A = this chain, B = another copy of it.
Amino acid sequence: MTSSSTAFLTDHYELTMLASALRDGTADRPCVFELFARRLPTGRRYGVVAGTGRFLDSLAGFRFGEEELAKLEASDVVDRATLDWLADYRFSGDIVGYPEGELYFPGSPVMTVSASFGEGVLLETLALSILNHDSAVASVAARMSSAANGRRLIEMGSRRTHEEAAVASARCAYLAGFTSTSNLEAGRRYGIPTAGTCAHAFTLLHDSEEDAFRAQIDALGVQTTLLVDTYDISRGIETAIRVAGPKLGAIRIDSGDLGVLARQAREQLDALGARETKIVVSGDLDEYAIAALRAEPVDAYGVGTSLVTGSGAPTAGMVYKLVEVDGRPVAKRSSHKESRGGRKAALRRYKATGTALEEVVYRADGPGPERHDHDRELQIPLVRAGQVVPGLPTLDDGRQRLRQALVSVPWEGLALSGGEPVIPTVFA
């Protein structure tokens, strides 16, 4: 179904712009493109960078092979000279950017591509697709992690999003602190722990709930998670412990007033001697529902729809703008969109206590702002002369980075209520 080339995961106009620029000789002009968000989704206090790793993977496959060239020729998208140029295309420029798991704010230069116009413009759509999707999911996943306050989070949203977006979403959830995913491909592709409980269908398949529980225990052992709400929850729990014994790993409740039910379930389990049996809850949980269950005896949350759809913010709204041509800053002159030309870098300024103070975005070709003791530069080299820099941070590094970054956020930034970005962006 999918070609091994990622080069067609782009917009038609990237290629026609290239064709036009090749024709008048401007395609070779050295350019700088900047990927950033003008603003955060309404009410959000921070964003989380995600997708950089996937983008760098896909860059390797961004090649126009015979199949792609034949299709472009047949559909008359570009001329012969452009086809020849594309046949030889290998990205040879430089890319720097925020590592995955880093926070971003309005105007943060999340990724900066330095290359000829032709080489750089071709990457626009693919870079934005990946960063916009992944950062949207990671940003809400981080809010959920904060809300869960150390309790386990299981990503189970695959069925509510495109089948490949599901794999990427699982990756973003893990980056942002989720414990595991239900998605097997994410397990294979990214080494994320996979987990599963059971569906109502399995109980309904059997002549009785007891038969179903017995079958599951026989196959998977008592450490499994039994779904107890197909018929009557308290009878379900009673049956579960009768079949599995008090060493049952967990029960899952997928419907009803989860707070009340979790409390009742805990009491019942304790009374049955199953004090170590965990309680997993699921069912349209978002970050607010997760937080609302903090006071209840819930051990793990299964989260689906609201995670993979960004809980109201399904895309990060990042843009990819040409900011420099031949060393001179350029910017669209527009009435309502703030645009700043020139290649930029960024640092985050902290208090001595480690709390973030502000995001300082500055022109990369100048001396930049006066440095303070607790400044931290935010961009790292990702690609040099077309080669991915060796030893880049791994997914687990990103997970660690985000955990630390969230500790540094002023406390009001971790509140789920809407507000302004928790630190201001200062353009120096």
Contact = CB atoms under 8 A, between A and B. Distances in A.
A58 B368 CA distance: 52
A164 B166 contact: no
A115 interface: no
Interface stretch (A91-99, A199-207, A411-419): A199-207
Interface in A287-324: 305, 308-310, 314-315, 317, 320-322
A322 to B, nearest CB: 4
Contacts of A321: 200-201
Nearest to A329: B204
A61 interface: yes
Given A9-B166, A165-B164, A16 B336 contact: no
A92 to B, nearest CB: 18
A238 interface: no
B11 A205 contact: no
Interface in A105-148: 117, 121, 124-126, 128-130, 132-133
A159 interface: yes
Contact of A215 (B15, B21, B201): B21
Contacts of A211: 24
A160 B315 contact: yes
Given A17-B202, A325-B204, A332-B230, A6 B215 contact: no
Interface in A177-222: 182-185, 187-189, 194-202, 204-206, 211, 214-216, 218-220
Interface in A31-67: 31, 33, 57-58, 61
A13 interface: yes
Interface string A1-15: 111101011111111
A397 interface: no
Most B C-beta atoms less than 10 A away, residue of A29, A215, A305: A215
Given A187-B75, A219-B19, A231-B333, A121 B201 contact: yes
Nearest to A225: B13
Contacts of A426: none
A371 interface: no
A394 interface: no
A20 B201 contact: no
B12 A194 contact: yes
Interface in A198-256: 198-202, 204-206, 211, 214-216, 218-220, 224, 229-232, 255-256
18 contacts: A3-B185, A8-B185, A9-B163, A10-B185, A17-B199, A20-B198, A68-B188, A75-B194, A121-B201, A128-B159, A133-B165, A160-B315, A161-B165, A200-B332, A204-B330, A205-B330, A255-B334, A310-B314
Interface of A: 1-4, 6, 8-17, 19-24, 26, 29, 31, 33, 57-58, 61, 68, 71, 75, 77, 79, 117, 121, 124-126, 128-130, 132-133, 156, 158-168, 182-185, 187-189, 194-202, 204-206, 211, 214-216, 218-220, 224, 229-232, 255-256, 305, 308-310, 314-315, 317, 320-322, 325, 330-337
